[in-house]
């Protein structure tokens, strides 16, 4: 039996959730989305995800057509319709159908749809052993062209980097900005640990301000680990004691080798493992109940 999807104001079987070939989300990547997780019957960090969705909409002047409160109910009800207590939720807002030109003013009404299903980005063994990643030639978009803080439907920059990672036989890639500073991975934020200090690139370097990223920084402060948002290069990654990635789908996953250089002792570090434990505990209590 297939999924039930929220689609343009109705809950329908997934086979009936069909997007027009004239939708500008399909034609031009003109739209926004959020990837959200549900754990133990709660939707984790839902308010933060919806705040980011509506901020993205404001920047690209997209009228969602629903209040944040209405959108929260859409997310929760989609989980209920599918009897899901643990889920990956994809919430999408497109510009809607228009003509074959670029002009968003030709799109009379946005389209909202919400999917709740399962996801496993990486096998469990990689959380225990850690990832090997490489730096790729593709640079992260500059903010003046397409600001990475907008979680838009246009992910071709990330996909190009993902292709390059796959060609080298690794599951993820490190992306630099135009100045050569570490920005983020193709779908995750990047952290390094040096001594008792947790370091991640600042927002202005050209990254998506991740919900899991911000959660991890809060958890680290609670553990009395120093937290800094500052510029760093691959040199700092290579010489770090620990490295890990964060994202809604990935959660917190250790990185043990970058560009052939072993990070730390080549195993997931103590700080990383403590953060994974704290994060998983938080998912049991945070967020509105389904």
Residues 234 and 205 in one domain: yes
Residues 79 and 20 in one domain: yes
Domain count, the chain: 2
The pLDDT of residue 119: 81
Instruction: Give residue 11's domain range.
Output: 4-117
85 in active site: no
For residue 289, tell me if it sits in a domain: no
- Inter-helix orientation angle 68-81/46-59, to 10°: 130
Residues 275 and 139 in one domain: yes
For residue 160, tell me if it sits in a domain: yes
For residue 149, tell me if it sits in a domain: yes
Residues 240 and 220: their CA atoms lie apart, in Å, by 17
Residues 96 and 143 in one domain: no
CATH number for position 158: 3.20.10.10
For residue 186, tell me if it sits in a domain: yes
Residues 93 and 19 in one domain: yes
The pLDDT of residue 120: 79
Residues 83 and 128 in one domain: no
Q: Strand pairing of 261-262 and 131-135?
A: unpaired
Tell me whether residue 271 is exposed, middle or buried, using C-beta atoms within 10 angstroms of its C-beta: 0 to 12, 13 to 18, 19 or more: buried
Phi, psi for residue 9 in degrees, rounded to 5: 95, -5
CATH number for position 83: 3.30.470.10
For residue 111, tell me if it sits in a domain: yes
For residue 288, tell me if it sits in a domain: no
Residues 136 and 106 in one domain: no
Of 94, 117, 140, which residue sits at a domain end? Answer: 117
Residues 98 and 160 in one domain: no
For residue 241, tell me if it sits in a domain: yes
Of 91, 117, 143, which residue sits at a domain end? Answer: 117
Residues 242 and 257: their CA atoms lie apart, in Å, by 10
Residues 134 and 107 in one domain: no
- Digits of tens for pLDDT over the chain (290 positions)? 699 999 999 999 999 999 999 999 999 999 999 999 999 999 999 999 999 999 999 999 999 999 999 999 999 999 999 999 999 999 999 999 999 999 999 999 999 999 999 887 788 999 999 999 999 999 999 999 999 999 999 999 999 999 999 999 999 999 999 999 999 999 999 999 999 999 999 999 999 999 999 999 999 999 999 999 999 999 999 999 999 999 999 999 999 999 999 999 999 999 999 999 999 999 999 999 99
The strand pairing partners of 12, in sequence order, are: 5
The pLDDT of residue 1: 64
The residue annotated as part of the active site, out of 47, 109, 129, 151, is 151
The strand pairing partners of 38, in sequence order, are: 43, 87
Residues 186 and 93 in one domain: no
Q: Return the DSSP state at 97.
A: B
For residue 128, tell me if it sits in a domain: yes
């Amino acid at each position: 039996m297939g999924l039930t999807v929220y689609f343009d104001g109705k809950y329908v079987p997934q086979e009936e959730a069909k997007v027009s070939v004239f939708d500008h989300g399909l034609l031009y990547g003109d739209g926004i989305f959020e990837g959200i997780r549900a754990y133990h019957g709660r939707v984790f960090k839902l308010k933060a995800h919806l705040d980011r969705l509506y901020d993205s909409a404001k920047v690209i002047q997209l009228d969602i057509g629903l209040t944040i409160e209405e959108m929260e109910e859409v997310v929760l009800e989609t989980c209920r319709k599918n009897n899901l207590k643990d889920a990956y939720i994809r919430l999408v807002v497109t510009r809607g159908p228009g003509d074959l030109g670029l002009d968003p003013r030709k799109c009379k009404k946005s389209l909202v749809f919400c999917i709740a299903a399962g996801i496993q980005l990486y096998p469990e063994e990689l959380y225990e052993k850690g990832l090997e990643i490489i730096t790729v030639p593709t640079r992260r978009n500059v903010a003046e062209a397409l600001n990475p803080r907008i979680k838009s439907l246009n992910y071709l920059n990330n996909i190009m980097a993902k292709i390059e990672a796959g060609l080298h036989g690794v599951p993820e890639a490190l992306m630099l900005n135009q100045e050569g500073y570490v920005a983020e991975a193709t779908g995750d934020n990047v952290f390094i640990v040096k001594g008792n200090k947790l370091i991640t690139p600042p927002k202005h370097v050209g990254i998506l301000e991740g919900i899991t990223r911000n959660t991890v920084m809060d958890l680290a402060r609670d553990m009395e680990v120093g937290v800094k948002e500052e510029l760093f290069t691959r040199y700092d990654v290579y010489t770090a004691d620990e490295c890990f990635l964060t994202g809604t789908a990935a959660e917190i996953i250790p990185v043990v080798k970058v560009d052939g250089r072993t990070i730390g002792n080549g195993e997931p570090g103590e700080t990383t493992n403590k953060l994974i434990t704290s994060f998983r505990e938080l998912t049991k209590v945070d967020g509105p109940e389904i």
